[in-house]
Amino acid sequence: MEYFLQQLINGITLGSIYGLIAIGYTMVYGIIGMINFAHGDVFMVGGFIALIAFLALVAIGVTAIPVALFLVLLIAMALTALYGWAIERIAYRPLRQSFRLAPLISAIGMSIILQNYIQIVQGAGAKPLPRLIEGGHTLIDSEAFAVRLSNIQIIVVLTTFVLMVAFSWLVAKTRLGRDMRACEQDLKMASLVGVNVDRTISLTFLIGAALAAVAGIMYLLYYGVVDFYIGFVAGVKAFTAAVLGGIGSLPGAMLGGILIGLIETFWSAYFTIEYKDVAAFSILIVVLIFLPTGILGRPEVEKV
């Protein structure tokens, strides 16, 4: 029982990171109906920006961990948001009226560009970061196994929960949220009633990239290492989470992320770790066979 509880904590933590990335996928799909396959690499870029910002702050004498974390959060979110904005302007906006595969191919091209750009600039090797947040709490201390909840796990889950609540409020209660929902229903009609469609889509990419930056920071703090390839692996799993939870649904993206994290963690704990990805994608296939819209997704209604 203790081992199961420990893996449950680990799975929720990992799933929270996947969920933050998955929100970016589902936001873009909800508005323009297309998948931003460069989003996983935006998450990777956010992790590298956070690492560089940490090292730069230490070099200039900022050694207080809370202050450094706050500054790194602001820097990484701002700079990574610019990457999201650039992807929308370069890879999506010129092709918005083109055939549906054109933006998809363009986004895959942006993903390859970001991967190779980071590989050239930062090198192909993994970049470590010393553990900044130590300590934790022992929930159960039996002779067989001790269940630990580390402080970084608490931070990851709480950060994810707070951002999820804040963003749900933004979509439901603000003018930008109303514009997003209008664009989700019909881009042309939204523009006819006064919604600035271009600005709304750009802000959606900005917000999604900023959330990916937060996920990159959480990944860096939790694992203590980043490399140029983590964006592809985490991006595919986050996309799987978005589809599993219901593409276009924000709660579904978070639920899918948690489920993928739990499946991956429990499979690694009780079976062979080499097949953890096979297990996650197999569950996705089963769900899509019997529930094509995902767990919380809504069936598409054809507009006539």
pTM: 0.91
Which band of pLDDT confidence, cut at 50, 70 and 90, is reported for residue 290?
A: confident
What are the pLDDT digits (tens) for 121-145? 999 899 998 888 888 888 887 777 7
Burial class (CB in 10 A: 0-12, 13-18, 19+), 294: buried
Which band of pLDDT confidence, cut at 50, 70 and 90, is reported for residue 281?
A: confident
pLDDT of residue 79 exceeding 70: yes
Tokens of 183: 């664009």
pLDDT of residue 186: 84
Arithmetic mean of pLDDT, 15-23:
92
pLDDT of residue 260: 92
Tokens 């919380």 — which residue? 296
Arithmetic mean of pLDDT, 96-117:
88
Query: Could you tell me which residue, 301 or 178, shows the higher pLDDT?
Result: 178
pLDDT of residue 301: 55
What are the pLDDT digits (tens) for 202-251? 999 999 999 999 999 999 999 999 999 999 888 888 988 988 888 878 88
pLDDT of residue 275: 84
Arithmetic mean of pLDDT, 32-56:
90
pLDDT of residue 45: 95
Arithmetic mean of pLDDT, 74-85:
94
Average pLDDT value over all residues in the chain? 88
- What is the rounded CA–CA span in Å between residue 143 and residue 156? 29
pLDDT of residue 270 exceeding 60: yes
Strands 225-226 and 146-150, sheet pairing: unpaired
CA distances from 232 to 35, 43, 127, 163, 285 (A): 14, 9, 17, 23, 20
pLDDT of residue 304 exceeding 60: no
CA distances from 296 to 122, 162, 241, 242, 259 (A): 39, 21, 12, 10, 13
Arithmetic mean of pLDDT, 153-169:
89
How many other CB atoms sit within 10 Å of the CB of residue 78?
14
CB 220 within 8 A of CB 264: no
